[in-house]
Amino acid sequence: MLSLLSSLVSLLFLFLIPCLFITSYIWFPVFLPKLLGLIKFKAARDDHDNEKRDEGTCVVREEELQRELMPRHVAFILDGNRRWAKQHGLLTEQGHQAGAIRFIEIAELCFELGIHTVSAFAFSTGNWGRDEDEVKWLMSLFQHQLKSNIQYFHRNEIRVSVIGNQTNIPEPILQRIHEIEETTKGYKNKHLIMAIDYSGRFDIMHACKSLVKKSEKGLIREQDVDEALIERELLTNCTDFPSPDLMIRTSGEQRISNFFLWQLAYTELFFSPILWPDFDKDKLLEALASYQRRERRFGCRV
């Protein structure tokens, strides 16, 4: 065992010492932790998939779902990235990164299943209160995600909208957001909505302000105000299906946390104990099966 170890170590050095000369000393200490981090990150993501295979649990199959009962809009609260990172001994940023990768995977699955609109509460107004570095990193992650996925959005004809209070979003990111919204707005069948610096109360307040302005200009009167009019002022007016049929929140929290408030009035809620980066296809199918078993009443007695 010891000899095996020592030969391994010497082999490693034989490989590493030339590396030290080829590359600079400064670069090397930066590179190694990054590489180790990457290996750990990959292992953490694979870990979960392997564990599940071992369990061999019975899962819902895609064919068991009824296409005609698919929700048209599914909203997600992506919760648990930080806890996931901690659990795997990774950095918080890596948790968010794993969460972002997972979100694109899950959105893709939703679209394949015929769901029209997928929305995500990616960054709440309350998140500005977090550690400055984490916020900065989250912002650069959004920028990176938007940039690296633009081809994907076009190839799959996905319309992208970003909603929320945009005053605090750094200018380069805002520009990219507008660019993506503009170039994808013609796509009709798949709609991805990212709520960034969004809060349900902000949305309603924003709508009120807009209505008051219109009233001051004499464009509307009191008797014109109804639900449809308010709905047209909410930030979800960008989609054909502003009210989610199903909302999924991960990581065991059972709260709305100031996400859609008006829009969730008749939404079916699904809470999963799974941390978001581990929320995979099986979990999604499970949530959809649960949704399809429910009898929706929209406030009426049946």
Ligand X SMILES: *[C@@H]1O[C@H](CO)[C@@H](O)[C@H](O)[C@H]1NC(C)=O
Q: Known catalytic residues?
A: 79
Q: Per CB under 6 A, does 169 bind ligand X?
A: no
Q: Give Cβ neighbours of residue 221 (< 8 Å, ≥ 6 apart).
A: 215
Minimum distance, C-beta of residue 99 to ligand X, in the bound complex (Å): 24
Determine the residue type at 294: R
Residue of the chain from 6, 168, 189, 257 that contacts ligand X (CB under 6 A): 168
Residues 199-218 that bind ligand X (CB under 6 A): 202, 205-207, 210
Residue of the chain from 181, 233, 282, 286 that contacts ligand X (CB under 6 A): 233
Query: Contact region for ligand X (CB under 6 A) — 77-85, 142-150, 164-172, 274-282?
Result: 164-172
Residue 72 main-chain phi, psi, to 5 deg: -90, -30
Of 214 and 281, which has the nearer Cβ to ligand X? 214
- Angstrom distance (rounded) from CA 153 to CA 173: 17
- Angstrom distance (rounded) from CA 192 to CA 144: 16
For ligand X, how many residues bind (rule: CB under 6 A)? 12
Residues β-bridged to residue 121 = 77, 195
Q: Per CB under 6 A, does 229 bind ligand X?
A: no
The number of beta carbons lying within 10 Å of the beta carbon of residue 32 is: 11
Residue of the chain from 178, 237, 252, 294 that contacts ligand X (CB under 6 A): 237
Q: Per CB under 6 A, does 145 bind ligand X?
A: no
Minimum distance, C-beta of residue 125 to ligand X, in the bound complex (Å): 7
Strands (E), 170-259: 190-198, 246-249
